Structure 1
Amino acid sequence: MEKKKMTEVKINELFVPKGTKRRSGKKLKKDNGVCIHEAGTSSAPAVNHAKNQYNNCNAAVNGWHFTVDDVEVWQSFPLDEVAEHSGKREGNDTTVAIEIADKVTAGEYWRKAVDNAAWLAAWILRQKGHTKAVHKQNIWQHNDWSGKDCPKQIRKGNPVNWAAFVAKVNEYLAA
């Protein structure tokens, strides 16, 4: 994975409208950290996922805070609001969701997307006052809440396994 400073990835904003099915405006009960997901849909960059959440804000309840790919990050919810993403009330009420846009799950694209997700997780954790990422204390897999095989590629070790991903988050936190 790449070496990068905490300020090197641009975060674009396209917030889901407040008061819609997808965004109630309810505040997180507690800031436990981040939950990592993979979109599970090929051929869609981060911007497409953000636009889909925005354009279909009354079609579904589920949502997520950030989508990241190999070149950019899109934020759809404020850091202090609930998004229905984890499959369990506790996960939704306490974590910020990062969705990795897996338009391709191989090669340099995927390595950069996962690296940017690690950078983003560190950036969020730093915003919330965390100095170290610890699995099930302030960084979770979607699987930890729901049992779903997500983030599937990272769980398979593509391009890194979960322990290496958390280690990369910690490298960025220390930068």
Structure 2
Amino acid sequence: MIPIIPDMLPEDHPLERLPMTPRYITIHDTGNPAPGANAAMHGRYIRSQAAIEREVMWHFTVDDREIRQHLPLDRNGWHAGDGWYGTGNRQSIAIEICENADGNRAAAEANAAALVAYLIQTVPTLLPFPECVVQHNRWSGKDCPRVLRGRPGGWEAFLSSVAANLNDGRRPIPVRDPAGRLLLTGWLEDGTTVVPLRALAEALGLVVEWDAAAAEARLRWPGGA
């Protein structure tokens, strides 16, 4: 699975974030096919006045290159459209899958399926799979996730992808800095924690460059030689 990038809402965000014991994972599509409407853009949007006025926030945004986390898993989001006491809003982890036209939608769905599998493996309060993985449509009747719902067999294929990730034999391992902040997520292989080199370097603030002449990767500090 690609690393999870912490992109948390600020502590002074005006929408309430109530304590939550997650039982479900709710899958959404962003509904925004505009070029550039990727995970980073939605991370900025969720902080905006427009999102605050709409009273929306969710836990993860996924595109073809990144997974960004906006809320801790023990706090609820407002995403399901089922009200203040609704099970979707109060007991489910929300994942938004990007639809940006300049992205690779198949890769975004694959990343989302890997994230769902990781959550199933690491959040003990979730219901058993596949009962725990639901569409936004379940809570409010909205046609969402619209891309998966609009494709024949799309939802079933997504659940199959989640199942394949659950059966790949990898155990996800969070990697944290000394302050306890999540840097990235690796996996366990034969008792060794394995992480992607580029993801680890970038999490530490390094720039990764490829030297084609030497056929090797090189690391440097930003602004350094």
What TM-score range do you get, normalising by the shorter chain? Answer: 0.7 to 0.9
Q: Which has the higher contact order (CA 8 A, sep 6+)?
A: 1
1:101 is aligned to 2:98: yes
Number of matched pairs: 161
**How far 1:133 sits from its partner (Å)?**
2.4
Deviations 1:138-173 (A, max 9, x none): 011000111111001101227x61111111111112
Deviations 1:48-93 (A, max 9, x none): 0011112446444211100000000111000111000101111111
- DSSP-derived class of the 2:47 partner: helix
Residue 110 of structure 1: which of 105, 117, 126 is its match?
A: 105
Contact 1:36 1:97 survives alignment (8 Å): yes
1:58/1:157 CA distance change after superposition, 3 Å: closer
Contact 1:21 1:59 survives alignment (8 Å): no
Q: RMSD between aligned alpha carbons?
A: 2.1
- DSSP-derived class of the 1:143 partner: helix
Which aligned runs of 4 or more in structure 1 are off by greater than 4 angstroms?
A: none
Structure 2: which 5+ runs fail to align? 169-225
In 2, distance between residues paired with 1:173 and 1:91? 23
Deviates more, 1:55-64 or 1:45-54: 55-64
Structure 1 or 2: more helix by fraction: 1
> Which amino acid is the alignment partner of residue 145 of structure 2?
P
**How far 1:19 sits from its partner (Å)?**
4.6
Q: Which has the larger radius of gyration?
A: 2
| Equivalences for residues 3-152 of structure 1 within 5 A | 8-22=1-15, 24-28=16-20, 30-42=21-33, 43=35, 44-56=37-49, 58-88=52-82, 89-104=86-101, 109-129=104-124, 133-134=129-130, 137-152=131-146
**How far 1:131 sits from its partner (Å)?**
9.2
Structure 1: which 5+ runs fail to align? 1-7
Contact 1:21 1:61 survives alignment (8 Å): no
Structure 1 or 2: more strand by fraction: 2
TM-score by length of 1: 0.84
